Amino acid sequence: MSLRRNKRSFNLALVRAFDQMFEDEQRDLWTPNWSNVPAEIELSLGGAIGDVENTNEKFAVNVDVSYFEPEEVKVNLDGNELTIEGSHEEKSDECGSIKRSFIRKYHLPKDTNLESVRPSLSDLGILTVEVAMKTQDETQSRAIPITRR
- pLDDT tens figures, 21-80: 666 555 545 445 444 545 444 444 444 557 899 898 999 999 999 889 999 999 999 999
Among 13-17, 43-47, 72-76, 82-86, where is mean pLDDT lowest?
A: 43-47
112 domain residue, yes or no: yes
Range(s) of the domain holding residue 11: 2-34
50 and 123 share one domain:
yes
pLDDT top residue among 95 and 25? 95
Cβ pair 114, 77 in contact under 8 A? yes
Query: Does residue 128 belong to any structural domain of this protein?
Result: yes
Same domain, yes or no: 29 and 101: no
Amino acid at position 72, single letter: E
Closest by CA to 67, choosing from 129, 124, 105, 106, is: 124
Do 56 and 19 reside in the same domain of the chain? no
Q: Say if residue 132's pLDDT is above 80.
A: yes
12 & 58 share domain: no
